[in-house]
Chains A and B, each alone.
Chain A
Amino acid sequence: MSSPRGTGHRSVRLPVPPTARQLWRRLVSMRTALVLLFLLALASVPGSLLPQRPLNPPKVQQYLATHGAWGRFLDRIGAYDVFGSIWFSAVYLLLFASLIGCLIPRITVYARALRARPLKAPRNLDRLAENTALSTGLDPDQAAARISRALRPRWRTVVRTEESGAVAVSAEKGYSREAGNLLFHVSLLVALVLIAAGRLLSYEGSIVATEGSGFCNRPISYDSFTAGRWVKSGGLADFCVDRLEKFTATYREDGTPAQFKADVSYSEDLAGPPRHAVIEVNHPLRLEGDRVYLLNHGFSPTVTITRPGRTPVTDTQAFLPQDEVLTSEGAFKLPGRDGTKDDDLGLSAVFAPTPVISGGVVTSISPQATNPVLAVLAYTGELNPGGQPQSVYSLDQKQIASGKLKQVGARNLAIGQSMTLPDGTVIRFDGYRQWANLQVSHDPTQARLLLAAILMVAGLLGSLAVRRRRLWVRVAPPDASARSVVWVGGLARNDGGNFSTEFQAIVAELAAVLGAGPQPDTVAAAPAAASTAAEKIGAGKD
């Protein structure tokens, strides 16, 4: 990074705007990362408290309608699509930059540290938070060799002979802590990239398919289709769900659902033979790159409409469930003769799988179909004057309100029953089929993202479970009685674990390999020298 700072103006004592390098430094500092993380959490909060367009657009409309200027203000700042808003992306991107900026130097430092030898022993081991002294009959070199050998499986050790003739062993362990931390952050970085790529490369199509019908994987086949910016509309995988053969809902005695399953036949490429599959909740059909999910289900009643002097028309329409017991609403639309304006016939209907009728209103009391009833309101007039796309689940309420669609009959029909309108039209409720809401999802980054997530957890475990420790042992030259004093000092470089207990275990092990006993005089002396807690080196974390 080059800094655009000029040379001539340094003496001017004005508040100098920070240079690019200073800004960068600030961005990659731990404190900034902290603040950005906090902002990220904060920025997510409205995403759960306000209705969100990508999840539930009608709820947003409703909120806007009832909250006036405040609602519109929220709309302007993108509060109904928090996770797609500029400010959320800004925090996300800054954090991303900060993460990169912080990782690069840390990786180089770590690479250097891996090659570095453990530090020289400090002069006074008895000033370390953990220290003790032993005595041994071995000479310093022998003792150091044994210590080094005992520690080596888990510690990186170096033996140095000091000027005084003492031999010091420096040992360090827990290198994988930083490795784990770096692995975590790098995997996190990769995960963030994959998530972003996934949003650009994924698509999702949803369709309500009634038993007997099917669809192919083309944007136009779907009731709704959303795709990332990098999805080419001709580039969807070639497969078709040829038919929803059968949908089965099983219920328990208490009426709660036990199982939903959709039997489908599908073909993975247009040439191949159709195959059979069962799709269940939690068990999508997994094809090469695409998955087909069962998300919802409902009923599709069938009626036969016979208008005087015309061919009878049989129609099956999916109805939308209004409650848990599948009281469903829908519509049948039958255009009139060509060129006429008020000859259309529309049925607005409620389907109740297990009906109760009170005060003329039909509702359902169970999602299981037993003697279902279709409550029909029949209208004639003009269904769709503008020719615009309309909901298939309802008649246009504006046409009804303006009188362009007139109610000409109303009846509750059981299967096989029919009603006759004043003009002689006969409407018969033939029966029902079931529909399944199938969703096709495609996201080519998923498998790699899962791998990144696994590495993140692995990195975390390494980082948070591994203990970084330093240990020094100094063996002084033998005294008159031919015994050497062995000073041991240890330092915990992070807070995990209980270093005091670990240290005692290490000392016990060293005492065993040295055939040593405690050194009576020094043991008494050492704690006294070290007892002022404030003076201790690295009592906590460094």
Chain B
Amino acid sequence: MAIDGGLASLSESLWTAATGTYMLAVVAYTGEYAFGKNGRIAQTSAVQAGAVQAGAVRTDAAVIGAAAIGAAAIGAGKPSAARQPALVGGTEPASRLSEPPDQPGHGTGSVEPDGRGGRRWGRAAVGLTLLAAAFHLACVAIRGIAVDRVPWGNMYEFTLVVGLMATVAWLATLVKMPQLRYLGLFVMMPVLLVMFLAGTLYTKASKLVPALQSYWLAIHVSAVAVAEGILLTSAAITMMYLARARFERIAATGKAPARFAGLGSRLPAAAALDKAAYRTVAFAFPIYTAGVIFGAIWAEAAWGRYWGWDPKETWAFIAWVVYATYLHARATAGWKGNRAAYINLLGFGAMTFNFFVVNIVISGLHSYAGLS
């Protein structure tokens, strides 16, 4: 079957639609971040009211976030989300979770100290994310139909798939922990960057060269893309963890947290972020391991050896070992916390290096990027 030019250009229009919608979603997340209960303005007024006590570790920020999301949980029809226990602590009195739900039709979108404006922004942001994800999925799927093969045969396509995985991971996180919605800015911003990046890596719709004509392409690359999408989320959470841990350290000394009140005070408790970062790695690591093993099986069929220390393989190994180090660090006294967090970021760095630098700069057997 030849390439379907009409579908290919439809897929390209969908890329534009998805990217534009992600942009709007980022604007909306920014709106929620700025005007929401945990938002900058609410925080500032809270600081002015003297509500933030120096030294207090404000785990309740997230609890309020959980309440704020209330009935506004994604997909609208999930009232049970209101009763979802808070991610943080879990020891707070239950009454704090039972804030009255949003009243439709109320409010003018103005900035209100209780963050109702933020809630509207947040709902819009999730709606836009869902729409963008739908465009994104259609973009990838139609590209696949247009070229009559799996839609991850070159770097442009692979980047799109990793971006889609990150969005899906974020939406899944929202289903489980809607109270994290106000942090959407920090996840959607990287996804938007990934979309732009895909744009710069754009490759015309084409069939696969014989070396890539293998069902292992579907298995190996999808496993790696899923793992990388999740690990991207983990890296984002880890950065939030580092910001928050720093805030908590300073808060614990009793000094005025003025300089760090900005980001740190609005994030969930460091312990919760640390746990979330660990869980995402624990979820992604076996998938990544399997992905690398699938790659080795494919290499055996294509090149006559399962492992040859090709640059791509070498960096996959490095990233894998660094994430294994992270899992160890999380179980080693003296290495938990910040040190483990840096190892997590290092693993992400190695993975990203493998994707960009190794594909574009270093040549090897894996030079399938489609860039010339």
Contact = CB atoms under 8 A, between A and B. Distances in A.
Interface in A239-264: 252-254, 256-260
Contact of A293 (B214, B304, B317, B324): B304
B332 A30 contact: yes
Contact of A495 (B278, B289, B314): B278
A33 B329 CA distance: 10
B211 interface: yes
A34 B335 contact: yes
Interface string B300-322: 11111111111100110110011
Interface string B82-100: 0001000111010000000
Interface residues of A, number: 63
B293 A457 contact: yes
B271 interface: yes
B331 interface: yes
Interface in A420-448: 439, 441, 443, 446
A83 B206 contact: no
A93 interface: no
Interface stretch (B157-165, B254-262, B279-287): B279-287
A107 to B, nearest CB: 17
Interface in B325-356: 325, 328-335, 343, 350
A58 interface: no
A456 interface: yes
Given A37-B321, A52-B309, A256 B209 contact: yes
For A44, A204, A284, A457, the residue with the greatest tally of chain B CB atoms inside 10 Å of its CB is A44
A83 B91 CA distance: 52
B45 interface: no
Contact of A453 (B90, B293, B311, B321): B293
A489 to B, nearest CB: 14
B285 A37 contact: no
A540 B271 contact: yes
Contacts of B193: none
A245 to B, nearest CB: 19
A424 to B, nearest CB: 46
Contact of A284 (B91, B216, B304): B304
Contact of B85 (A45, A253, A500): A500
A414 B329 CA distance: 68
A149 interface: no
B302 A282 contact: yes
B6 interface: no
A346 B216 CA distance: 46
Nearest to B215: A282
A55 interface: yes
Contact of A282 (B211, B305, B310, B334): B211
A124 interface: no
Contacts of A195: 307
Nearest to A459: B286
Contacts of B90: 500
For B210, B289, B328, B334, the residue with the greatest tally of chain A CB atoms inside 10 Å of its CB is B210
Contacts of B298: 282
B97 to A, nearest CB: 13
B220 to A, nearest CB: 12
Contact of A441 (B271, B286, B304): B304
Contacts of A450: 297
A498 B317 CA distance: 31
Contacts of A453: 293, 296
Given A44-B314, A48-B315, A281 B329 contact: no
Contacts of A111: none
B263 interface: no
Contacts of B305: 204, 441, 443
B85 A48 contact: no
For B286, B308, B332, the residue with the greatest tally of chain A CB atoms inside 10 Å of its CB is B286
A33 B275 CA distance: 22
A246 B275 CA distance: 60
18 contacts: A30-B333, A33-B328, A34-B335, A44-B314, A54-B309, A55-B310, A204-B304, A259-B213, A280-B210, A281-B211, A439-B304, A449-B306, A464-B282, A464-B285, A495-B330, A500-B85, A500-B90, A540-B275
Interface of A: 30-31, 33-34, 37-38, 40-41, 44-45, 47-49, 52, 54-55, 82-83, 195, 204, 252-254, 256-260, 280-284, 291, 293, 295, 439, 441, 443, 446, 449-450, 453-454, 456-457, 460-461, 464-465, 495-498, 500-501, 504, 527, 530-531, 533, 540-541
Closest 4 CB pairs of A and B: A48-B314, A48-B311, A41-B321, A281-B210
